[in-house]
Amino acid sequence: MIDLLTILQHADSAFPSGSFAFSNGIEGLAAMSAPLDRRGLQAVVTLFLHHRWATSDRVAVALAHRANGDFSRVACIDHAVEAATLAEPLRTGSKRNGNALLAAHLRLATHGAQELRTLIDGGEAHGHLPVVQGFVWRAGGMSEAAAVMVSGYSTAAGLIAAAVRLGRIGAVEAQSVLAAVLATVAVFSTPVPPVAEIESFMPWVDAAASRHARAHLRLFAS
């Protein structure tokens, strides 16, 4: 029972991770008049899960979890995420979000959080969100499979919540979108191969995020 409660705690949007400040390209897509009604948003989130989360964040979470406190391995995974995240606003957002999550775990005295903070402050790692997630969730007793599922759920929920805050979809419709895309998260919640590469290819989201970074008025940081 405690395992399930731990999962619920870290998947809860109320956990202080700073993720509310980032739309991961959704605001940029909205500014480009992308269809973000129920059908359009479901398509966007599904594509995001397929082409960014499943091939990048999911892999990084699993590998950081397997690193089991080996900070040299954690740093290598972090550098791979940095290289695979082509759009500067998304790179910056991932690092700000990851460092905010780490700050919460420092205050919670999570095992290894201070050492990871020192590694980042020394310039040996970046603190990308999925890397921090994999590291602190293992330290908190979460299994690798659970960590991957929480990562996928949080990614989908965050994208959908951004669309709600932008007024592109209602809260009830948003829940129907979330229910529909959870099947995609489940499909990809299979063990990550030991030699999996961290890669991402969503040029239209990268373009939207880069354009959004130059906007004079915006709700989200990315």
Q: Is a pLDDT exceeding 70 seen at residue 215?
A: no
Q: What percent of the chain has pLDDT over 90?
A: 65
Q: Cβ neighbours of residue 192 under 8 Å, at least 6 residues apart?
A: 58, 59, 62, 63, 148
Q: Which positions ≥6 away from 74 have C-beta within 8 Å?
A: 64, 67, 116, 119, 125, 131, 135
Type of residue found at 181: V
Task: Tell me the average pLDDT of the chain.
Answer: 90
Q: Between 77 and 26, whose confidence is greater?
A: 77
Mean pLDDT of 106-122: 96
Residue 3 in this model has a pLDDT that exceeds 80? no
Between 31 and 178, name the one with better pLDDT.
Answer: 178
